Structure 1
């Protein structure tokens, strides 16, 4: 018997891990002006605005800043005929736990917007489910390419996009908060 085997005998056994709860995501097209979609878009904006204001001003966004941003943030073009709004539901729940939107920039290029999973539902595969549905929706719109812009501080989002085939590209827009531009060519 070698020394490793002897050490292993004296080591306490690691208890088996508890099984992970079964999760199931369903993603469907929904109206961007539906009350549950509007609530999800508000939660998205509060999440990203609070992160921005914490980083740059050491505070959360005020309710006035949120209301102003909601008024300026266009989402009405995430609807047919040149857009789509996707809602992700966790384990069949009635209330959506995530969303993503697409809009055509030109006949070949769709722009990804408003990707969001509620904090309590993160880490359960919702982002992957949404991005798979985004690919299918972009194909349905006739797009062969998806582009997006994001911020440097949204590291989790950037990592999610990179895991799903998005690569950094040269800037293609001048959004006030855009710091990183990414694109994905569809199959």
Structure 2
């Protein structure tokens, strides 16, 4: 039986780079309501702070289904007790199964290992599937803890 494996992986590995590219292409295209160009994707990925997703400041995970890189996600420590969920992505062909739930559980475990007692995240209103995922996993709307052009709603959860 084919199954999921989730594990920390360098944010700049070939699998991570490919997943990060696909993540940004999807969220940017949905935001602009048109396909993002290669240049826009490259610009979005440049200087996005992903290098902080390594211990002790964070962690980046890759989810593989049957050995195929299919999902990614990260946690970033914002302070000594609070971690931010970021870059959660499942390739479309792998959605609708257990991958997202397993990724969220794994990210929470990584955050606990880094000392977090609370998880927070921000997202956009148009990312309906992501918002449903977070609500299913116990996240509730909270006041804004940060600001930015692509942030419409903020969620938090006590670990």
Give me the TM-score of the superposition, normalised by structure 1: 0.82
* CA RMSD across the alignment: 1.1
Aligned position for 1:153: 126
The answer as to 2:150 corresponding to 1:171 is: no
Match 2:25 to one of 28, 46, 49: 46
Aligned position for 1:62: 37
Distance in 2 between the 1:85 and 1:76 partners?
A: 9
Match 1:88 to one of 44, 48, 63: 63
The answer as to 2:14 corresponding to 1:35 is: yes
Aligned position for 1:122: 95
Q: Which of structures 1 and 2 has the bigger CA Rg? A: 1
Aligned position for 1:18: none
Which segments of structure 1 move beyond 6 Å, counting only runs of 4 or more?
A: none
More strand per residue: 1 or 2? 2
1:72 shift after superposition: 3.5
Q: Which runs of 5+ in 1 are unaligned?
A: 1-21
Distance in 1 between the 2:35 and 2:12 partners?
A: 26
The number of equivalent residue pairs is 159
The answer as to 2:157 corresponding to 1:184 is: yes
Distance in 2 between the 1:148 and 1:35 partners?
A: 26
Q: Which runs of 5+ in 2 are unaligned?
A: none
Aligned position for 1:12: none
Aligned position for 1:5: none
Distance in 1 between the 2:3 and 2:148 partners?
A: 35
Distance in 1 between the 2:25 and 2:156 partners?
A: 25
